[in-house]
């Protein structure tokens, strides 16, 4: 019986504590709701004016895009007027007018989320001021650097008779692409079809890291005169990977994550401050205006140095990522060829061919529209002959493969969507194997490659290339003249 009474008493005590806690929570919630309502009531007129002007502005912009459709003097004047009206309201009550008028629910949590934005505004303004001076002096340099990040992606046709670029880039295609090339070779006119796919970009189109890592290309020739028979069965697979992409994009993601987490922690702290403030409305207004709570208005202060630090770091990383994303690249170039790329007319090129190496490139801006690009490649090469026409098959041949090129590319006018490009380079292969074997395989050569690419249709271009052997000790391939159409299928960057 005594135990039962004790349990009852204990239960009653717990209930009482619970009620007290609920009451305290309600008081805090009521206090924040009251503060919220007080602030919104004080801005009723501003809220309505802002809402009207903002609505008019959005409706106008929905149908008016001056950069796309051209400027309309009347609409420009209306837009200017609306911007001024909105600007004046903002000046009167920065942040609160926009943040509080439409925010729900009207509790401490929402109030903290709203007023904590002010810290971001303050740090952003400080950051902008600190960057303004150096940026001004570097304006031209920055503009030129920015131009370099306009990357050109193309299908990977490296090492085939469809190759147009003097040395192929290893920057992956944006999503997917296709190319058809016609090549004049010493064994007749050949056609080559190429499909390039960026699987990670297709799987995760919003992921900047994934979309910049690698692509795979498959190409196969077709003979315009004889079709594809047993002797011409040939397929090539190319993989190129840009290893600098994940480094820059991952760092960016981490910095942004740190930034938003710090902002979240700061807003949590502000929520606590507001909950205990004597006058929530006054405290919130002070935070909104100054970016942080003051002891006089809120009863306590908060340390905002960490948020300011990670915010600045995140912005610096964004800036760096944007500029560097496409300016430099360094990565892998891997190729597999199986079969006979030129048919029986050229003896010695039928076999299994593997190439693996590193490739890199850098863009050097010359003006707002034009830039130079330098490309290079160094690789190891393996060729295992399967050519029965040679009598005795040569042993597998190991070679060093290399290439270097410069490309001048740009747009004829600012409004041009596609680029023109002209390039020149040399590619070569030197065997490290027995000379007699090497003589019967496609190695020991140096080719001079010339390229011209002109915009053709939206999202595509037309390329013309000439490859002239400067030295040719192995299988004689002869000069090549190739014409290729390059289409960026599903490639939004070329729209």
Structure tokens at 166: 């003097």
Nearer to another protein, 147 or 280 (CB): 147
Closest approach, Cβ 52 to another protein, in A, equals 7
Nearer to another protein, 74 or 137 (CB): 137
Closest approach, Cβ 133 to another protein, in A, equals 9
Nearer to another protein, 99 or 423 (CB): 99
Nearer to another protein, 252 or 379 (CB): 252
String of contacts with another protein for each residue 6-45, x by CB under 8 A:
----------------------------------------
CB 293 within 8 A of CB 266: no
String of contacts with another protein for each residue 357-396, x by CB under 8 A:
-----------x----------------------------
What residues numbered 109-148 form the site for another protein, per CB under 8 A?
Answer: 109-110, 112-114, 116-117, 120-121, 124-129, 131-132, 135, 139, 142-148
Closest approach, Cβ 451 to another protein, in A, equals 21
What residues numbered 292-331 form the site for another protein, per CB under 8 A?
Answer: 315, 318-319, 321-323, 325-326
Structure tokens at 423: 């390039």
Nearer to another protein, 108 or 379 (CB): 108
Q: Number of residues in contact with another protein, rule: CB under 8 A? A: 92
Sequence-ordered list of residues with C-beta below 8 angstroms from that of 353, at least 6 positions apart, any chain: 335, 336, 337, 338, 381, 382, 383, 384, 442
Closest approach, Cβ 247 to another protein, in A, equals 14
What residues numbered 45-84 form the site for another protein, per CB under 8 A?
Answer: 47-48, 50-55, 57-58, 61-62, 65-68, 83
Closest approach, Cβ 489 to another protein, in A, equals 15
String of contacts with another protein for each residue 93-112, x by CB under 8 A:
-xx--xx-xxxxx---xx-x
Q: SS3 of 44, please?
A: helix
267 near another protein, rule: CB under 8 A: yes
Q: Are strands 460-472 and 234-242 parallel, antiparallel or unpaired?
A: unpaired
**Distance (Å, rounded) from C-alpha 395 to C-alpha 392?**
9
Sequence-ordered list of residues with C-beta below 8 angstroms from that of 156, at least 6 positions apart, any chain: 168, 173, 194, 196, 215, 217, 238, 240
Note the helical H segments in 277-366. 280-290, 295-298, 305-324
Closest approach, Cβ 248 to another protein, in A, equals 10
Nearest-10 Cα torsion for 447, 452, 455, 460: -10
Nearer to another protein, 54 or 430 (CB): 54
Out of 69, 268, 303, 345, which residue is the one contacting another protein (CB under 8 A)? 268
What residues numbered 232-261 form the site for another protein, per CB under 8 A?
Answer: 249, 252-253, 256-257, 259-261
What residues numbered 166-205 form the site for another protein, per CB under 8 A?
Answer: none
CB 442 within 8 A of CB 383: yes
Nearer to another protein, 246 or 469 (CB): 246
Sequence-ordered list of residues with C-beta below 8 angstroms from that of 363, at least 6 positions apart, any chain: 148, 326, 327, 328, 371, 372, 373
Sequence-ordered list of residues with C-beta below 8 angstroms from that of 311, at least 6 positions apart, any chain: 120, 123, 124, 127, 259, 262, 263
Out of 34, 207, 223, 472, which residue is the one contacting another protein (CB under 8 A)? 207
Q: Which residue has the tokens 């002239």?
A: 468
Q: What is the 3-state secondary structure (H, E, C) of 74-132?
A: HHHHHHHHHHHHHHHHHHHCCCHHHHHHCCCCCCHHHHHHHHCHHHHHHHHHHHHHHHH
Q: Which residue has the tokens 């409706």?
A: 59
What residues numbered 414-433 form the site for another protein, per CB under 8 A?
Answer: 414-417
Closest approach, Cβ 246 to another protein, in A, equals 13
* Cross-strand pairs, 409: 371, 421
**Choices 411-419, 424-432, 438-446, 475-483; region in contact with another protein by CB under 8 A:** 411-419
């Amino acid at each position: 019986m005594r135990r039962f009474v004790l349990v009852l008493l204990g239960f009653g005590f717990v209930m009482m504590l619970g009620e007290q806690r609920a009451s305290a929570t309600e008081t805090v919630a009521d206090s924040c709701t009251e503060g919220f309502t007080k602030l919104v009531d004080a801005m009723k007129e501003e809220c309505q004016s802002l809402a009207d002007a903002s609505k008019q502005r959005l409706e106008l912009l929905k149908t008016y895009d001056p950069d796309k459709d051209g400027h309309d003097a009347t609409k420009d004047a209306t837009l200017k007027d609306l911007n001024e009206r909105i600007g004046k309201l903002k000046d009167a009550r920065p942040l609160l007018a926009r943040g509080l008028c439409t925010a729900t629910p009207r509790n401490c949590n929402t109030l903290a989320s709203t007023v904590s934005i002010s810290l971001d505004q303050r740090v952003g303004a400080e950051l902008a001021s600190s960057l303004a001076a150096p940026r001004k002096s570097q304006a031209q340099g920055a503009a030129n650097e920015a131009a370099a990040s306009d990357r050109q992606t193309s299908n990977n046709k490296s090492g085939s008779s469809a190759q147009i670029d003097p040395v192929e880039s290893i920057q992956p295609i944006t999503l997917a692409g296709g190319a058809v090339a016609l090549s004049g070779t010493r064994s007749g006119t050949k056609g080559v079809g190429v499909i390039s796919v960026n699987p990670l970009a297709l799987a995760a189109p919003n992921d900047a890291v994934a979309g910049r890592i690698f692509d795979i290309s498959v190409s196969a020739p077709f003979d315009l005169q004889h079709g594809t028979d047993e002797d011409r069965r040939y397929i090539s697979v190319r993989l190129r990977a840009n290893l600098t992409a994940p480094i820059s994009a991952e760092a960016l993601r981490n910095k942004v994550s740190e930034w938003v987490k710090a902002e979240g922690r700061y807003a949590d702290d502000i929520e606590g401050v507001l909950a205990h403030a004597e006058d929530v409305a006054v405290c919130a207004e002070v935070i909104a205006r100054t970016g942080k709570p003051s002891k006089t208005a809120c009863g306590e202060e908060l340390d905002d140095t960490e948020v300011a630090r990670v915010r600045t770091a995140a912005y610096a990383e964004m800036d760096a990522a944007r500029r560097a994303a496409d300016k430099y690249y360094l990565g892998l170039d891997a190729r597999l060829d199986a079969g006979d790329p030129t048919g029986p007319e050229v003896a010695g090129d039928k076999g299994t061919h593997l190439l693996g190496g590193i490739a890199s490139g850098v863009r050097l801006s010359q003006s707002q529209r034009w830039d130079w690009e330098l490309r290079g490649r160094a690789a190891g090469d393996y060729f295992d002959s399967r050519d029965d026409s040679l009598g005795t098959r040569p042993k597998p041949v190991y070679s060093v493969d290399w290439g270097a090129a410069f490309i001048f590319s740009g747009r004829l006018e600012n409004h041009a969507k596609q680029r023109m490009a002209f390039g020149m380079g040399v590619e070569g292969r030197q065997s490290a194997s027995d000379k007699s074997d090497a003589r019967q395989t496609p190695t020991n050569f140096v080719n001079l490659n010339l390229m011209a690419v002109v915009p053709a249709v939206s999202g595509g271009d037309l390329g013309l290339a000439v490859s002239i052997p400067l030295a040719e000790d192995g299988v004689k391939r002869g000069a090549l003249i190739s014409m290729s159409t390059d289409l960026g299928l599903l490639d939004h960057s070329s729209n």
